[in-house]
Structure 1
Amino acid sequence: MPPPSLPVTLDCSLRHYGGEHPAHAHATHAQLLYALSGRMELEVDGHSAYVDTVTGLWIPAGTRHAYLAPPGAQMLVMDVVAPPCTALDKLRRFQVPRAASCPPQALAATERLQLLLDAPTLLPRRGVDVQALEAHIRGALHTPWPTARMAAWCHLSPQRFHARWLELTGRTPQQWLRQLRLDQAERLLARGRSLEASAADCGYASASALAYALRRDRGTGARALRRR
């Protein structure tokens, strides 16, 4: 897509959000946003939307929008002042290019804008709240978590959930879950909890299964962790 007609004024910044913000509109500039970490739920002209680390949103000037974000969400926000232009005057959901997944100082604003204008448009799709699902799983880590169960919690098919999770975390659901279990097991063992109790708390079938996973993936054992 060609760049918008000049003159264009760009203000690119990293902003930290948390909580709810009432509906408002920017009369003089369009706004482009996506997450560098976390996610944000939005209502745009009465329709629900979201942004995360792989899904961005172009909000035209004058478009009313409200948002809700968990504490600590980091959003890349670009305010764009430009003459009327088809590329900038329509609400658009786009796929965030990897080259644009960096803080403002790491990429020139004009280059970032061009990358985002050229990014593929995404059809509406159900969002996946990584932090919410992680908190839910942590509360029941001792139970089995097949991909189908994780997908059902997010109201997605296992195939779509697998693809979205890989996009968002860079790992398959089971790779991510394995690391979550091991991280928690290491913390418990470092606090002096027994190998058997740690295995049960973290969803391993036996103490030997946890011991094997620690050696294979972390190159350590229960005794070494307790000495830390």
Structure 2
Amino acid sequence: MPKRNATNWSIRTYGPSPGSHAHDHFQILWGLEGSLELEVEGNGARVGAGQGLVITPGDKHDFESLHGSRCLILDAPDLGWSSRESLPQFAKASNLLAQYIVEAIEQKIPFDAGQAAFLFAQSWGPTSEMTRVRRDIDWQGLSLWVKDHLSHPLSVGDLAEKACLSESQFRTRCVEALGCSPMQWIRRLRLEQAQRLRLQGMSVAEVANQTGYDSPSALTAALRRLKS
């Protein structure tokens, strides 16, 4: 696992055995061979050869490849990725650079990992256009809206729409203001609301239903982890 503040390139293979985890850094996947199936915070995604995906810090992602997959992986702390789209806008350019990096890794050709990461980000596409006057976000009002909708599936797009921002802009603002990703914030609010309802005497099953947990056992496990 890369150090917290390090930029690290690697080539990894995936098989039919499923995996699941989250990172405290950005992870960028670039498909080299096969197809990697993912579920990122409940949203399905696929990375095939010549395709890429940005996974933001804290986002839980499940992954597997039934027929095998090979990917170039960039682990990076650079928050500049938060203002870029999750899918590449200039895949052809990104793929050319990815192939060079793969060749350098496999042939043990020295290269500057940080500079390569910078160029890869540039090839991915421009950052979101920010308005001259930053739009204020009513975090208190938005948190109340989230709590009122916890029984429904919520995505970054839902929150960004309420804040009148693009998804990438909202991710950046969330990290800046709250120190966490949007999905981490939703999970925090969900758990706080569940605790509050339990203290009011509501049953575990009803609390789980009202706060969006998959099952009463999932809620119980979340509360247990909080106490440990």
TM-score band w.r.t. shorter chain: 0.3 to 0.5
TM-score under structure 1 normalisation?
A: 0.40
- In terms of Rg, which structure is larger? 1
Structure with greater helix percent:
2
Greater percentage in strand: 1
With normalisation by structure 2, the TM-score equals 0.40
